[in-house]
A = this chain, B = another copy of it.
Amino acid sequence: MPLTKAEISRLRSLQDKKVREAAGLYVVENAKVVAELIAAGHAFAELYATGEAGLPASAPEPVRVTEAELARISHFPTPSAVFAVGRMQRAELADGELAGGLTLALDGIQDPGNAGTLLRLADWFGCARVLLSPDSADLFSQKVINASMGSFARVRVVTTPLAPVLAAARAGGLPVLGADLAGESVHGLAALADAVLVIGSEGRGPSPAVRAAVSRWITIPRHGGAESLNAAVAAGIVLAALRRA
C-alpha cells in the first residue's frame, strides 16, 4: 500500500533538524548501518524499506515503499534502500557513575566522522560510557551514527558539560587522563580498570576548564615530523595501553 501524502509529508519534514529535535526523532538511511543496529538489538520506532534493503532476519517487518517514495523522503540525493526512524534517548549521568569502568570523554570533537570513529573505538575497548561535550558533533546526526557503525547501539553516550563532572571525578580520586604533546609516555602507563580519558579536538585540544580537571597527561612519543596525531588514533593508542593485560 503506497504511503499517503500526509505520511510522505511528515517523513519529508524530518529532513529539517529542528523538526527532528522537536519530535525527538532521528533518521538512519544507510542500509548496512541500519542492519548492524538492528542486529545489535536496537529498536527503531519506524522502518521503511524497498525490497532491496537486505535487513537481518531479526528485523521487524518494514513498511514496504517504492524507490520513488524513498526518493521523496530521503535526506540525500541518492537514497539508499531503507529509511529508519528512531526515538532519541538522552542518557543522564548517575551520581558517582564515572567511578566504575573506563570513560572516554570527548571535548569539542566537531567532525562527525571522528566522533563516530571514537564511539566505535570506545566500543572495541569496552568503555563503560562516552561523555560528549555539548559543543561536540550531534550524536543523532546520520554522519555520526554511520561512522560509529553498530557502536551507536552498544555504547552508552551522555552529552554533558565535561568540566564539572571531570573535576568531581578527580576530586573523588579517579585518574583523569589527557592526551597531549607533553606528559608521561604512554609506554609506561599501567593498565587501569577505572579511569577517564579526555580527548580534545586536534586543532585546539581540550578546553582550559577541562584541562584543569586532568590529573595525568599522557604523551605518545614522536619519532618523525608530524605535528599532531589524529584524535581517534591517539585515543586508540592510550586505550590499548589502559587495556594491556
Which residues in window 101-140 of A have CB below 8 A to B?
113, 117, 120-127
Measured CA separation A122–B222 after assembly (Å): 10
B154 contacts A240, C-beta separation under 8 Å: no
Query: How many of chain A's residues touch chain B, expressed as a range?
Result: 35 or more
Residue A178 at the chain B interface, CB threshold 8 Å: no
Given contacts A237-B237, A237-B240, contact A150 B40 (CB under 8 A): no
The stretch of A9-17, A62-70, A157-165, A226-234 in contact with B is A226-234
B223 contacts A125, C-beta separation under 8 Å: yes
Number of copies: 2
CB-contact partner of A120 in B127, B186, B226, under 8 A: B226
CB-contact partner of A121 in B155, B233, B235, B240, under 8 A: B233
Given contacts A124-B226, A149-B227, contact A244 B187 (CB under 8 A): yes
Residue A72 at the chain B interface, CB threshold 8 Å: no
A226 contacts B149, C-beta separation under 8 Å: yes
Which residues of chain B are near A36, meaning CB under 8 Å? 227
Which residues of chain B are near A79, meaning CB under 8 Å? none
Query: In angstroms, how far is the closest chain B Cβ from the Cβ of A135?
Result: 21
Measured CA separation A122–B226 after assembly (Å): 9
Which residues of chain B are near A234, meaning CB under 8 Å? 236
Which residues of chain B are near A244, meaning CB under 8 Å? 187
Given contacts A243-B221, A245-B187, contact A229 B121 (CB under 8 A): yes
Measured CA separation A186–B122 after assembly (Å): 18
Measured CA separation A201–B128 after assembly (Å): 28
Residue A71 at the chain B interface, CB threshold 8 Å: no
Residues of A participating in the B interface, judged by any CB pair closer than 8 Å: 36, 40, 113, 117, 120-127, 149-151, 154-155, 185-187, 220-230, 232-237, 240, 243-245
With A125-B224, A126-B224, A236-B236 known, 5 other A-B pairs at CB within 8 A are A122-B224, A124-B220, A233-B235, A234-B236, A237-B240
